[in-house]
């Protein structure tokens, strides 16, 4: 059955109004299935009309509509027809449902550390029918009442507050009206920590084997949670609307986190079993704030249909960074946005698949799924920062509060949002939206200069080569004793196609001119040649870390556009990264240098030397006096880029805990990264990997071993990994597949890798039969990014010509193929 179409959702929403769901789950029926019994009370505006309910069971036991049994055999795919509705209806559906191993529906996980079993429900965007019968679309909201039967030693957490939970029998209070995609329940022998802030009960939950990590991280998590609640309560008139606020850390989660009202779910890697960098703490704080912002944007007021996904994600993204920066100790959070998130979005916005931020014509939920991308998040958030800069905070938040008040517990669309902001600001927000939300692509802001023979700046113009107006700052830096010292930051408004002179920076004698200094807008930048020379000479001497992030992103953009050679980029890295002080920037630059510049943009014959340059840089940072997080980021890169006798001996020492740089320790994550590197270099066989895994059983060992096994260079190892990836049964988890895919390309003779790359395209279309998550995982993680040959590009294009490809797979393959073409262009240019 194809995914729900927008046209069908529109008809159903016009017809029906849902008064409430009562969901009962029996989680005691063995490892494969659970029993789901749902009662839906709903009204129909046209008595006598027909509709349908979504339910995706292993076995539909019975369905009863208004006292009349429906024939279970009438189930068509995941739809059950509801004929002859009355004005008021009661539907009962009892079904046996499958537990998921791929995080789609009710995921079931057995912890390798202690054998304990856990479950959690992921219902977004259209997976709720795998958990309970429902009208699965965002604009049919209703209160949910959950009851459940679970093993006696389990704790359950859901959207509503617990009413009772003794002896395995659980009942939760009815929720406020919420969309079906926001339903969740988390269960198992959980370890929990409770607190309260401003009258709101708080809970943190994780599996038992992570009890020590949860206890260690709880103070910081509660601190960020409380600070974020306070800040959002200052910004919004409406208080947090969903009662208690629980945050559960769950295994094998496909996304970063999910904003279920009352019970946010995070991937449990965020509990940091290994030492973490400050950038990782900051990112987690941002995610906590992001998910909390969704309680208003998305949960309290929900997009009517998925084409307004940005109403959820762009706001949560913008507020996630803003609240983290304003209210928590992570005051530099915007550096992470500049250094990491924006690149994700810029890449997406320059591919053939780019789309407008809003109103992107999404017809089905399947199409919606592919737009959880850097455009809906990073670009949308950047557009909103422009809007805030233009309207001012007061008018912006007044408009938002009016919008919430108008649509409380309901749904809204782009025009509703624009109307509220137009009213609060008196400005033409519709024209702004036409420029910023209904167009696609990145504008370029170019600095044009005239200079005297000695290099002194005599004229400066900034040109907007794009189609949107930009409110930006132009930064000037003067070279003094080998350092770039700020001499001014001039705010300017540049209309599309316009040129703006910036005489103040001429008078100040700027050596380096940075368009979009402070990173307020969404644009590529191009510097004048003298400014670029100053960057090459003195980038690391710029004091402002957002400016450095903008310049590093600019360098990344130049290599991607084949305007800067990989060698020159690596030269910049080797010259300036050792003096970098932001671990956000260090992580991002080292990762891009290693995976993209070395791994994709250089042909195989040139990679070893280039990787050595990355390795030297990482080791220089390690030997430096940077902070703990920064040196930890460097240690990771040093581990991943180790090669040659001496470095491998050093790596073995680190993994044994010997001769580690001051203050650094090796946790399970880094240990397995190192073991995977040794395996890829042929230094670790199957028995050695098994022995390592037995030392400390747990999820890291399970996934680390899967990755290390696939990373071994021998043909037998590759054949085995290939079998796991393409022939494995439904019991192989999403995360085990991901780990195997991550290891697969880490080694192998170039001609064998090339042969596997061609085989990938023979097999990948068939992955769609295994569901969206597996198809995305294989389509993305296993894509042969490093094989930028004409044959591989042709093979990719042949698969893309198949009209039957699912939207998720098509987007993944098309985007990765765009990147292959880019790599070919870079290789061709240098």
Q: What whole-number distance in Å separates Cα of residue 256 and Cα of residue 170?
A: 28
Tell me if the bond preceding 467 is cis, omega within 30° of 0.
no
Whether 181 contacts 57, CB under 8 Å: no
Q: Nearest distance from residue 152's CB to Zn ion, in Å?
A: 35
What is the helix (H) or strand (E) element at residue 96, kind and residue range? strand 88-98
Q: What whole-number distance in Å separates Cα of residue 103 and Cα of residue 127?
A: 10
Indicate the residue among 313 and 553 with the shorter CB distance to Zn ion.
Answer: 313
Indicate the residue among 287 and 558 with the shorter CB distance to Zn ion.
Answer: 287
**Helices of type H across 236-300:** 278-294
Which residues 297-316 are close enough to bind Zn ion by CB under 5 A?
313, 316
Q: What whole-number distance in Å separates Cα of residue 528 and Cα of residue 505?
A: 14
Determine the distance from the C-alpha atom of residue 618 to the mean position of all C-alpha atoms in its chain, rounded to a whole number. Answer: 26
Q: Nearest distance from residue 591's CB to Zn ion, in Å?
A: 23
Q: Nearest distance from residue 318's CB to Zn ion, in Å?
A: 11
Q: Nearest distance from residue 148's CB to Zn ion, in Å?
A: 27
Count of residues interacting with Zn ion (CB under 5 A): 2
Indicate the residue among 316 and 437 with the shorter CB distance to Zn ion.
Answer: 316
* 291 counts as catalytic: yes
Indicate the residue among 313 and 738 with the shorter CB distance to Zn ion.
Answer: 313
Q: What whole-number distance in Å separates Cα of residue 518 and Cα of residue 520?
A: 6
Q: Nearest distance from residue 184's CB to Zn ion, in Å?
A: 14
Rounded to 5 degrees, φ, ψ at 777 are -60, -50
778 to 125, 221, 744, 764: CA distances (angstroms): 20, 33, 11, 7
Q: Nearest distance from residue 294's CB to Zn ion, in Å?
A: 6
Sequence-distant (6+) residues with CB within 8 A of 303 are 138, 309, 311, 312, 411, 412, 413
Indicate the residue among 291 and 517 with the shorter CB distance to Zn ion.
Answer: 291
- For the CA atoms of 661, 666, 670, 673, the dihedral, rounded to the nearest 10 degrees, stands at 80
Q: Nearest distance from residue 791's CB to Zn ion, in Å?
A: 39
Which residues 337-366 are close enough to bind Zn ion by CB under 5 A?
none
Whether 559 contacts 378, CB under 8 Å: no
For tokens 């958990």, the residue is 131
Q: Nearest distance from residue 267's CB to Zn ion, in Å?
A: 13
Q: Nearest distance from residue 130's CB to Zn ion, in Å?
A: 21
Indicate the residue among 85 and 316 with the shorter CB distance to Zn ion.
Answer: 316
Q: Nearest distance from residue 214's CB to Zn ion, in Å?
A: 23
Closest alpha carbon to 718 in 696, 688, 751: 751
Indicate the residue among 213 and 313 with the shorter CB distance to Zn ion.
Answer: 313
What is the helix (H) or strand (E) element at residue 119, kind and residue range? strand 117-122
Whether 808 contacts 369, CB under 8 Å: yes
**Angle (CA) 477 531 571, round 5°:** 110
Task: Report the residue closest to Zn ion, judged by CB.
Answer: 316
Which residues 312-341 are close enough to bind Zn ion by CB under 5 A?
313, 316
Beta bridge partners of 266: 249, 257
Q: Nearest distance from residue 255's CB to Zn ion, in Å?
A: 8
Q: What whole-number distance in Å separates Cα of residue 43 and Cα of residue 13?
A: 11
Side-chain-side CA neighbours of residue 422 (13 Å):
12
What is the helix (H) or strand (E) element at residue 462, kind and residue range? strand 457-464
Q: Nearest distance from residue 259's CB to Zn ion, in Å?
A: 6
Indicate the residue among 221 and 316 with the shorter CB distance to Zn ion.
Answer: 316
Indicate the residue among 358 and 527 with the shorter CB distance to Zn ion.
Answer: 358
Q: What whole-number distance in Å separates Cα of residue 396 and Cα of residue 388?
A: 6
Indicate the residue among 316 and 826 with the shorter CB distance to Zn ion.
Answer: 316
Q: What whole-number distance in Å separates Cα of residue 153 and Cα of residue 358?
A: 46
For tokens 């406020």, the residue is 176
Q: What whole-number distance in Å separates Cα of residue 468 and Cα of residue 176?
A: 40
Indicate the residue among 323 and 670 with the shorter CB distance to Zn ion.
Answer: 323
Q: What whole-number distance in Å separates Cα of residue 483 and Cα of residue 485?
A: 6
Q: What whole-number distance in Å separates Cα of residue 716 and Cα of residue 770?
A: 25
Indicate the residue among 316 and 577 with the shorter CB distance to Zn ion.
Answer: 316
Question: 291, 340, 545, 587: which is the annotated catalytic residue?
Answer: 291
Whether 319 contacts 497, CB under 8 Å: no
Q: What whole-number distance in Å separates Cα of residue 245 and Cα of residue 264?
A: 8
Biggest CA-to-CA distance, the chain: 91
Beta bridge partners of 43: 17, 88
Which residues 270-289 are close enough to bind Zn ion by CB under 5 A?
none
Strands 33-44, 16-26: pairing kind: antiparallel
Closest alpha carbon to 523 in 499, 489, 553: 553
Whether 259 contacts 298, CB under 8 Å: yes
User: Which residues are catalytic, by number?
Assistant: 291
Give the footprint of Zn ion on this chain (CB under 5 A).
313, 316
């Amino acid at each position: 059955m194809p995914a729900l179409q927008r046209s069908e959702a529109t008809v159903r929403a016009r017809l029906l109004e849902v008064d409430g769901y009562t969901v009962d789950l029996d989680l005691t029926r063995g490892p494969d299935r659970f029993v789901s019994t749902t009662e839906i009370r709903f009204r129909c505006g046209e008595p006598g009309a027909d509709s349908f309910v979504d339910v995706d069971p292993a076995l539909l036991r019975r369905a009863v509509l208004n006292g009349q049994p429906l024939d279970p055999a009438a189930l068509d795919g995941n739809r059950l027809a509801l004929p002859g509705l009355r004005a008021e209806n009661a539907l009962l559906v009892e079904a046996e449902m499958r537990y998921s191993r791929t995080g789609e529906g009710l995921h079931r996980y057995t912890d390798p550390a202690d054998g304990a079993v856990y479950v959690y429900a992921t219902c977004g965007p259209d997976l709720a029918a795998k958990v309970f019968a429902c009208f699965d679309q965002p604009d049919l909201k209703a209160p949910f009442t959950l009851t459940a039967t679970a093993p006696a030693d389990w704790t359950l957490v859901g959207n509503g507050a617990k009413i009772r939970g003794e002896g395995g029998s659980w009942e939760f209070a009815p929720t406020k009206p919420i969309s079906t995609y926001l339903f969740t329940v988390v269960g198992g022998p959980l370890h929990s920590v409770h607190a309260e802030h401003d009258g709101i009960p708080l809970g943190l939950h994780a599996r038992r084997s992570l009890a020590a990590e949860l206890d260690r991280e709880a103070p910081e998590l509660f601190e960020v949670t409380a600070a974020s609640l306070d800040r959002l309560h200052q910004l919004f008139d409406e208080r947090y609307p969903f009662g208690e606020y629980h945050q559960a850390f769950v295994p094998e989660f496909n996304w970063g986190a999910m904003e279920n009202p009352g019970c946010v779910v995070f991937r449990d890697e965020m509990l940091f079993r290994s030492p973490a960098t400050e950038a990782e703490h900051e990112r987690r704080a941002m995610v906590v704030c992001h998910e909390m912002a969704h309680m208003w944007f998305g949960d309290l007021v929900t997009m009517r249909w998925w084409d307004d996904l940005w109403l959820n994600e762009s706001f949560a993204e913008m507020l996630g960074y803003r609240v983290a920066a304003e209210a928590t100790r992570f005051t530099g959070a915007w550096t992470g946005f500049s250094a990491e998130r924006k690149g994700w979005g810029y890449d997406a916005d320059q591919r053939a698949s780019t789309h407008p931020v809003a109103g992107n014509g999404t017809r089905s939920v399947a199409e919606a799924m592919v737009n959880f991308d850097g455009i809906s998040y990073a670009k949308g958030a950047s557009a909103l920062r422009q809007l805030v800069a233009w309207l001012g905070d007061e008018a912006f938040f007044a408009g938002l509060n009016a919008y919430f008040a108008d649509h409380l517990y309901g749904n809204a669309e782009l025009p509703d949002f624009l109307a509220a902001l137009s009213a609060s600001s008196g400005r033409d927000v519709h024209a702004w939206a036409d420029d910023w939300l209904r167009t696609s692509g990145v504008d370029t802001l170019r600095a044009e200069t005239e200079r005297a023979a000695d290099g002194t700046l005599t004229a400066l113009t900034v040109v907007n080569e794009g189609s949107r107006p930009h409110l930006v700052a132009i930064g000037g830096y003067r070279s003094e004793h080998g350092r770039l010292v700020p001499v001014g930051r001039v705010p300017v408004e540049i209309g599309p196609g316009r040129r703006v002179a910036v005489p103040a920076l001429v008078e100040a004698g700027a050596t380096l001119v940075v368009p979009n200094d402070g990173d307020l807008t969404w644009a590529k930048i191009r510097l004048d040649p003298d400014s670029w020379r100053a960057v090459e000479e003195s980038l690391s001497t710029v004091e402002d870390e957002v400016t450095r992030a903008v310049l590093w992103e600019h360098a990344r953009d130049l290599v991607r556009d084949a305007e800067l050679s990989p060698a020159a980029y690596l030269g910049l890295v080797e010259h300036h990264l050792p003096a970098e002080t932001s671990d956000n920037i260090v992580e991002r630059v080292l990762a891009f240098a290693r995976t993209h510049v070395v791994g994709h943009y250089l042909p195989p014959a040139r990679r070893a030397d280039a990787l050595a340059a990355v390795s030297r840089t990482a080791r220089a940072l390690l030997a430096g006096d940077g902070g703990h997080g920064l040196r930890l980021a460097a240690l990771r890169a040093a581990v991943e880029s180790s090669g040659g006798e001496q470095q491998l001996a050093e790596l073995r020492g680190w993994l044994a805990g010997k001769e580690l740089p001051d203050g650094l320790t090796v946790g399970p994550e880094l240990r397995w990264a190192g073991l995977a590197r040794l395996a890829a270099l042929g230094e670790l066989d199957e028995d050695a990997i098994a022995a390592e895994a037995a030392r400390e059983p747990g999820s890291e060992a399970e996934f680390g071993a899967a990755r290390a096994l696939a990373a071994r260079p021998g043909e037998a190892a590759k054949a085995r990994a290939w079998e796991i990836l393409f022939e494995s049964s439904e019991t192989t988890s999403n995360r085990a597949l991901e780990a195997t895919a991550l290891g697969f390309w880490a080694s192998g003779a170039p001609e064998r890798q090339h042969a596997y790359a061609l085989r990938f395209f023979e097999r990948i279309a068939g992955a769609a039969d295994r569901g969206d998550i597996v198809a995305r995982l294989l389509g993305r993680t296993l894509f042969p990014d490093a094989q930028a040959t004409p044959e591989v590009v042709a093979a990719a294009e042949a698969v893309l010509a198949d009209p039957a490809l699912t939207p998720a797979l098509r987007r993944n393959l098309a985007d990765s193929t765009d990147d292959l073409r880019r790599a070919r262009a870079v290789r061709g240019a240098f």
